């Protein structure tokens, strides 16, 4: 059995500003009671203003402590593509997004359904 790991407390803080611009286009639904579909494109930047991520110190059981030093965080670009649509009692959203930070790109997505009773 492996000994338990003990992680000491650390302090991190970060202040950032997000600037995003969204553009949408209605594909369907020009009639008030009809189903509707909208596509939206969003892009912008996340700019870090200040802050730092603290070092993490830990040890296995009563063993010698070791320290993990984080990489410096960097600002980066963000973007997304979203489809939103529905009808009188049902709506849905499907979204894919990406964020560039530390010379890497993270991808994400979201699906949602709303029912009106």
> Domain span at residue 84?
14-50+73-115
- Domain total in the chain: 1
56 Cβ contact list (under 8 Å, min separation 6): 7, 8, 10, 67, 68, 70
pLDDT tens readout for residues 36-54? 999 999 999 999 999 888 9
Is the residue at 63 inside a domain?
no
Rg (CA), the chain: 22
Residue whose structure tokens are 């009692």: 89
Is the residue at 19 inside a domain?
yes
Distances (CA, A) of 92 to 21, 26, 47, 62, 95: 22, 15, 31, 53, 10
Is the residue at 55 inside a domain?
no
Is the residue at 80 inside a domain?
yes
pLDDT tens readout for residues 78-114? 999 999 999 888 899 999 999 998 889 999 999 999 9
Is the residue at 104 inside a domain?
yes
pLDDT of residue 32: 64
Is the residue at 56 inside a domain?
no
Is the residue at 21 inside a domain?
yes
Is the residue at 29 inside a domain?
yes
């Amino acid at each position: 059995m492996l000994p338990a790991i003990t992680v000491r407390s650390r302090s991190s803080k970060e202040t950032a500003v997000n600037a995003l611009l969204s553009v949408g286009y209605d594909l369907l639904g020009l009639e008030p009671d009809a189903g509707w579909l909208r596509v939206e494109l969003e892009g912008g930047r996340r700019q870090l203003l200040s802050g730092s991520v603290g070092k993490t110190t830990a040890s296995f059981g009563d063993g010698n402590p070791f320290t993990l030093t984080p990489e410096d965080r960097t600002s980066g670009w963000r973007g997304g593509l979203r489809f939103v649509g529905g009808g009188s009692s049902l709506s849905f959203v499907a979204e894919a997004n990406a964020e560039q930070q530390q010379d890497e790109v993270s991808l994400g997505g979201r699906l949602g359904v709303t029912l009106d009773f």
